[in-house]
Amino acid sequence: MQDGCWPFHLFGANFATESEAKKFVFEQWEPEPPESVSEAEYISWEDRNPTWRLAEELGFSMDSDFVELAGTPQDVIAQIRSQSERVLVSSRVGEFTHFIMVGSNAIWGDRRSTSTQVEPLVRLPESTATITYLGLFN
pTM: 0.86
pLDDT digits (tens, 9 = 90+) for 71-93: 899 999 999 999 999 999 999 99
Length of the chain equals: 138
Q: Assess whether pLDDT exceeds 80 at residue 117.
A: no
Mean pLDDT (the chain, rounded)? 91
Average pLDDT for 96-125: 80
* CA-closest candidate to residue 58, choices 92, 108, 94: 108
* Segments making up each domain of the chain, as ranges: 8-137
Question: 51 or 122: whose pLDDT is higher?
Answer: 51
